[in-house]
């Protein structure tokens, strides 16, 4: 079968011809429909995130996938059922986090991540997975279901955010999303029913398709070159919730300035090392005197995928049509990984339902 | 009556003779038994925290008090009942935070604080307070009840910490308390039944009464000159919970290094401005990849006082005997505010039950 992979020593993906996988006991075999590309894929290509499966000199990419069950192989799944696979898998011997269904809380070194760290991804004509890591989705999600995985990360981040504010009366009215990539835009759309006013920060010139989407969501675009995060609260209003999806390390600390009293900032970006100055005394003091919180959040578990599925069903069609901007065949892999400001979510399509 | 106050332009407290307060409708009149001294009192004296009551050229100090009801004045309290007053009071016109019983969540500028910010404290022979801000305590707490207020801050901080970890399986085994002042030691004692192993960081040489208490609590003393917070996890073990009570701004960020995956650091110190370098990229990344949380927490509300009262009842007598180290009369105010490493909690005693 064809697979999109990166070979040892290479930094760009290519189509490789490999044997189709055979499902083990408890695993189903899926025929792949679509796989989304995101920033983590580029980090895998650069070699700055994750690592190859043990013993292999290539890694199949892709962790945002939709497949159709080709062979249930004795599992409870039915042939023809559409599924989204989760990403994390237990290393040899499993561990407590997987046993209690919370692989997202497993610390680094205690999990593999398909398509990212130590395990092949889903960017191939077929993939296998234990049935317990497959989330059934409706047939109507054949094209958009690749958004369930990124959305599940937001579901988890918001769940942690709200729980951190659950012992007092907290009714967030305003949200600031840092980053106008696909995850930022999905989050902005998901927050539409939660807050009254939302803002999305980016650094793009008009005309720009992400700015158009932000404004069609009735949110306010914040150009970070004109209004840095540190000035957001003064120029607009303090935000009850800040969602960081830029991976720009200074944003983690500047979030304290953008937050309203009793607000929570949730961080999802994964920056490289970067030493810089902060007014650590002032930020510490403001965290305390205004009861602010900063939370890190990574990955998600089955419950978050289930909830993301419901969220996806609520997103307007126009939004979904405009967020998946580019669809390529596996053979067009070079173009698919080119990137560009006119692209939001790019997918590789292996087949249709 | 006699009161311990700081006058405008002065930076040390003195005994002043003023009229005893008269209770308004809804207020009771208390005869003061004891008032504790803490770090905030010294900040008030320096003029770096809070401010005088409007129109007055002096401020009565003290916010950790025990009084006995002298005149219920038509409230539900009974004469002779012991009470601990809370600190925050609504400014003119009140606001939503006070109305829903969460003055601790009121942002700066929307509250007065007795003995600290815009309102007289309790360090006087008599004080008045609306009954709703008085927490009845048993007669047995006449001497130790001044600990209820600081303990209530820890109750709130832990409540927020636990709620932030409540959507996944979290059973903290280890705690690190930063600071071996009275609040740090009280917290260490309160955590005794919550975690299996606890550590308390200070910078004192032996022999030292706080180190003795730490070790008699079966906790481990961590000398920050030998083991800085950044090295704590390697030298000892990562902490599920870090409680910061030093006001040393770098500790807020170093806490990320000391935390175990999925851990929470709660900050209570109130540092001055201080600009310094951090590896903001690495800390941001660790917050995210290890699902760590940093929370600021200030003050407390009635429910926390009630819970602190129960916690106080569980603290061993030997601990209480050794944490209140010095008792002075109001006339000994100069000595009372002298400080020193042999002192833990100093109180001014106006009377006995």
Residue B82 in contact with residue B67, Cβ under 8 Å? yes
CA distance A189 to chain B (A): 22
Asked if the Cβ–Cβ distance from B296 to A293 is below 8 Å, we say yes
Query: Is B178 strand, coil or helix?
Result: strand
Residue B340: pLDDT band (50, 70, 90) is: confident
Residue B50 has pLDDT above 90, yes or no: no
The answer, yes or no, to whether residue A47 has pLDDT greater than 90, is no
Chosen for mutation from A296, A299, A301, A307 (greatest number of chain B CBs closer than 10 Å) is: A296
- What pLDDT, on the 0 to 100 scale, is given for residue B26? 97
What number is the average pLDDT over the span A99-115?
A: 97
8 Å CB contact between B319 and B215: no
pLDDT tens for each residue of A290-338: 999 999 999 999 999 999 999 999 999 999 999 999 999 999 999 999 9
What secondary structure letter does DSSP report for B38? -
Q: How confident is the model at residue A272 (pLDDT cuts 50, 70, 90)?
A: very high
User: Across the A/B interface, how many CB contacts are shorter than 8 Å?
Assistant: 187
Contact A265, A240 (CB under 8 A): no
Would you call B49 an interface residue with chain A, using a CB distance cutoff of 8 Å?
A: no
Contact check, Cβ <8 Å, A276/B277: yes
pLDDT exceeds 90 at position B6:
yes
Do B304 and B173 touch, CB atoms closer than 8 A? no
Give the pLDDT score at A112.
97
Ligand-binding site membership of B180 (annotated)? yes
Share of chain A above pLDDT 90, in %: 96
What does the pLDDT read at residue A340? 84
- pLDDT category, B49, cuts 50, 70, 90? confident
Q: What is the pLDDT of residue A164?
A: 98
Quote the mean pLDDT of chain B.
Answer: 97
pLDDT of A97: 97
Domain ranges of chain B: 2-137+316-349, 152-296
Contacts of A165 in chain B (CB under 8 A): 163
| DSSP state at residue B117 | B
CATH class of B152-296: alpha beta
Q: How many CA atoms are closer than 13 Å to the CA of A248, on its beta-carbon side?
A: 18
Res. B310: pLDDT tops 90: yes
Say if A164 is an interface residue toward chain B (CB within 8 Å). Answer: yes
- Looking at residue B72, its pLDDT comes to 98
The overall average pLDDT reported for chain A is 97
- Please give the average per-residue pLDDT across A187-214, as a whole number: 97
Which of A168, A250, A280 minimises the CB distance to B252? A280
Inform me whether the pLDDT recorded for A48 exceeds 90: no
Contacts of A109 in chain B (CB under 8 A): none
C-alpha to C-alpha distance for A107 and A119, rounded to whole angstroms = 17
Q: Strand pairing partners for A127? A: A30
Tokens describing residue B265: 């650091």
Separation CA B240–CA B235 (nearest Å) = 15
Q: How many CA atoms lie within 13 A of B214 on its CB side?
A: 29
Pull the structure tokens for residue A89. 């898998």
pLDDT band (50, 70, 90) for residue A232: very high
| pLDDT reading at A49 higher than 90 | no
Q: Has residue B51 got a pLDDT over 90?
A: no
**Is any Cβ of chain B less than 8 angstroms from the Cβ of A203?**
no
The Cα A281–Cα B267 span in angstroms is: 12
Measured distance CA(A322)–CA(A343) in Å, rounded: 10
Stretch B322-337: mean pLDDT: 98
pLDDT of A51: 87
Q: Decide if pLDDT at A94 tops 90.
A: no
Q: Does B188 touch chain A (CB under 8 A)?
A: no
Q: Please give the Cα distance from B231 to A39 (Å, whole number).
A: 33
- Between CA A147 and CA B250, with CA A107 as vertex, the angle to 5 degrees is 105
Q: What pLDDT was estimated at residue A76? A: 98
Q: In chain B, what are the helix, strand and coil shares in percent, each to the nearest 5?
A: 30, 30, 40
Q: pLDDT per residue over A151-190, tens digit each?
A: 999 999 999 999 999 999 999 999 999 999 999 999 999 9
The answer to whether the annotation marks B144 as part of a ligand binding site is no
- Look up the ipTM and state it: 0.98
- Say if B171 is an interface residue toward chain A (CB within 8 Å): no
Helix axes A148-164, A182-191, angle to 10 degrees: 60
**What does the DSSP 8-state code read for residue B73?**
T
Q: Is the pLDDT of residue B270 over 90?
A: yes
CB interface of A with B, residues 204-263, below 8 Å: 249-250, 252-253, 261-262
- Interface residue A317 vs chain B (CB under 8 A): no
> Strand pairing partners for A58?
A7
Residue pLDDT, tens place only, B238-251? 999 999 999 999 99
Q: How far is B30 from A221, CA to CA, in rounded Å?
A: 56
Token output for A70: 């080709």
* Contacts for B346 with CB less than 8 Å, ≥ 6 apart: B36, B37, B325, B326, B327, B328, B336, B339
Neighboring chain B residues of A267 at a CB cutoff of 8 Å: 284, 287-288
Out of B107, B278, B298, closest to residue A275 by CB: B278
CB A120 within 8 A of CB A67: no
Q: To the nearest whole percent, how much of chain B has pLDDT over 70?
A: 100
For residue B47, the model assigns a pLDDT of 85
> What is the CATH superfamily name and number for domain A2-137+316-349?
Medium-chain alcohol dehydrogenases, catalytic domain (3.90.180.10)
Give the residue from A284, A287, A300, A307 with the most B CB atoms within 10 Å of its CB, the best one to mutate. A284
Question: Beta-strand (E) ranges in B37-81?
Answer: 58-60, 64-71
Question: What is the pLDDT confidence band of residue B19, given thresholds at 50, 70 and 90?
Answer: very high
B280 Cβ under 8 Å from any chain A Cβ:
yes
The CB density around residue A201, as the number of other CB atoms within 10 Å, is 27
Say whether B346 counts as a known binding-site residue: no
At B131-174, the pLDDT tens digits run 999 999 999 999 999 999 999 999 999 999 999 999 999 999 99
What are the φ and ψ backbone dihedral angles of A349, each rounded to 5 degrees? -105, 120
* Chain B hits for A274, Cβ within 8 Å: 279-282
């Amino acid at each position: 079968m064809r697979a999109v992979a990166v070979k040892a020593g290479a930094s760009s993906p290519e189509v490789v011809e490999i044997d189709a996988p055979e499902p083990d006991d408890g695993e189903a075999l899926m025929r792949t429909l679509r796989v989304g590309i995101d920033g983590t894929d580029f980090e895998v290509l650069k070699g700055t995130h994750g690592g190859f499966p043990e013993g292999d000199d290539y890694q199949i990419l892709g962790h945002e996938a939709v497949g159709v069950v080709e062979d249930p192989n004795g599992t409870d799944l039915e042939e023809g059922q559409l599924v989204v696979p989760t990403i994390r898998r237990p290393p040899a011997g499993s561990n407590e986090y997987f046993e209690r269904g919370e692989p997202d809380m497993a610390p680094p070194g205690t999990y593999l991540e398909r398509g990212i760290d130590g395990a092949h991804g889903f960017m191939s004509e077929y993939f296998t997975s234990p049935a317990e890591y497959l989330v059934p989705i409706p047939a109507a999600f054949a094209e958009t279901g690749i958004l369930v995985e990124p959305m599940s990360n937001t579901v988890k981040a918001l769940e942690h955010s709200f729980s951190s504010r659950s012992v007092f009366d907290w009714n967030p009215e305003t949200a600031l999303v840092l980053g106008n990539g696909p995850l930022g835009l999905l989050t902005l759309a998901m927050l539409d029913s939660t807050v009254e006013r939302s803002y999305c920060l980016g650094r793009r010139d008009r005309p720009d398709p992400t700015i158009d989407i932000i404004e069609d969501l009735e949110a306010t675009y914040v150009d970070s070159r004109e209004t840095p995060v540190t000035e957001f609260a003064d120029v607009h209003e303090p935000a009850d919730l800040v969602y960081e999806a830029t991976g720009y390390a200074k944003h983690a600390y500047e979030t304290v300035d953008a937050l309203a009293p009793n607000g929570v900032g949730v961080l999802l970006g994964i920056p490289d090392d970067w030493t810089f100055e902060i007014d650590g005394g002032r930020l510490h003091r403001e965290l305390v005197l205004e009861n602010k919180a900063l939370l890190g959040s990574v990955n998600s578990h089955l419950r978050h995928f289930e909830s993301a599925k419901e969220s996806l069903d609520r997103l307007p069609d126009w939004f979904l049509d405009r967020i998946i901007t580019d669809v390529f065949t596996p053979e067009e892999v070079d173009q698919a990984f080119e990137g560009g400001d006119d692209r939001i979510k790019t997918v590789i399509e292996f087949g249709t339902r």
